[in-house]
Amino acid sequence: MAMECLRIIGGKRLAGSVRVSGSKNASLPILAASILAESPVALSALPRLADVATLLRVLHQLGIASTYQPCGDLLIETVDASRSRAGHRLVSRMRASFCVLGPLLARRGKAVVSLPGGCNIGPRPVDLHLRALAALGAEISISHGYVIASARRLRGTHVCMAGPHGPSVTGTANVLCAATRAHGITTISGAAQEPEIEDLGRFLQRLGAQIDGLGSDTITVRGQAGLGGAVHRVIPDRIEAGTLLLAAAIAGGTVHVEGLIPAHVSRLLEALDATGVSLDVGTGHITIVACGRPRAVQITALPYPGIPSDLQAQWMALLSLADGQSIIRDEVFPGRFLHAAELSRMGARIELLGSSATIEGLPRLSGAHVTATDLRAGAALVLAGLAARGTTVVSGLEHLDRGYVNLHEKLSRLGANVERRIFRGPIIADVNDRPAAALRRPCKRF
């Protein structure tokens, strides 16, 4: 059976410049919010990802046409406002598809949306979404795996989006969109403060929505009878930026990461600094210099502005090579440790207990055939392969393709020995038993 995999020969130091793509986690709720627009919408810096393609297919089901322009912008326009059903086949692939619920309800008065799917990273209930929309006046029921919501006109009210593991990001997006067309004022307390929610709010403001408090835990929305079109540029992907910085930290070398917003990764930079790398932070760029083994640290994944859970797996890969014992806790998705078993196949020493992992760092990992169990786990295995002795083969690329634009090509341009190949028959990692070249050599610091 043919299978597409990444083949990585470890031990290559990274050097050069790389540019961050547009944010996946901002693009998806913004695409869903385009249902609210009564005139065409043009989006730029939209990443060409499997998740984006999936959501565009969901929108097509809902009567939304989309066309990429020669300049790369995506033009979106409603051609049939009578449709209100987002089916299971597509929504079950990706949790972010559930973000169409709020816009559909607000714009068309009815929404029939399949309960969501997505990465296997632990339970993520939608109770907060449904309770908040019900508080806005929606009648909601669940039947045969679908959420059925209806309302002649939503009413502004106070809703709280704080959950047991922090604010609901997709819940905040759903309620924020619905409130833009509710009668009166809606106050969202315990709102998610992620930059992606702030970017969604700016997009809605460009449509004509009146929103205050973006970037804080309390957002106020004054509902409008209608919203127009807009031109909007999606923010850079802070998770991709973090992945690239961690790639440089694990492989060693000097890498210039461009096209990001440093403020969006400030806690990541603090933690990286603690590992011993050198960082030069500018306006829209960061240069990282990594020499020698990283120092052991303690990392806790928290809602923004904390270190994101979406970087927890990549941190585990780095700390598997740290000098000493490290501890990682995930307070957002406590069960998000499926990648630990795959890293252990490469020799990593990881012990799991509840929502924490203890990692005993090693001088190096060993190449192996490993499988991505979810999107960020795939990124962690790629990063581990950069520093491993011998050859690593990573399968399960359908997960990686959901969130990274040509990650292997970007790493290759930095000097990594990584290629995407189609394997036929059994996959056996060709691990080189000879001593690998030194992963890190002495280098100057800033």
Q: Encode 246-278: b = buried (16+ Cβ within 10 Å), e = exposed.
A: bbbbbbbbbbbbbbbbbebbebbbebbeebbbb
Q: Verify whether residue 291 is a known catalytic residue.
A: no
Q: List, in order, residues 6 or more apart from 344 with CB less than 8 Å away.
A: 350
- From 71, 119, 160, 443, the catalytic residue: 119
Between β-strands 253-258 and 285-290, what pairing exists: parallel, antiparallel or unpaired? antiparallel
- Return the C-alpha torsion angle 350, 352, 358, 360, nearest 10: -20
The answer to whether the beta carbons of residues 18 and 414 sit under 8 Å apart is: yes
The answer to whether the beta carbons of residues 364 and 387 sit under 8 Å apart is: yes
The answer to whether the beta carbons of residues 400 and 365 sit under 8 Å apart is: no
Spatial separation of the C-alpha atoms in residues 167 and 175, rounded to whole Å: 12
Spatial separation of the C-alpha atoms in residues 60 and 43, rounded to whole Å: 16
Q: Which one, of 134, 205, 125, 136, lies nearest residue 170 by Cα?
A: 125
Spatial separation of the C-alpha atoms in residues 301 and 306, rounded to whole Å: 7
Sheet of strand 285-290: strand arrangement: 14-19, 253-258, 285-290, 278-281
Spatial separation of the C-alpha atoms in residues 96 and 29, rounded to whole Å: 7
The answer to whether the beta carbons of residues 130 and 173 sit under 8 Å apart is: no
The residue behind tokens 């559909």 is 104
The residue behind tokens 């799991």 is 352
Q: In Å, what is the CA distance from 366 to each residue of 246, 334, 362, 388, 416? A: 19, 27, 10, 5, 16
**Which stretches within 155-292 are classed as H helix?**
169-179, 195-207, 238-251, 266-275
Can you tell me whether residue 367 is helix, strand or coil? Answer: coil
> Where in the sequence numbering do the catalytic residues fall?
119
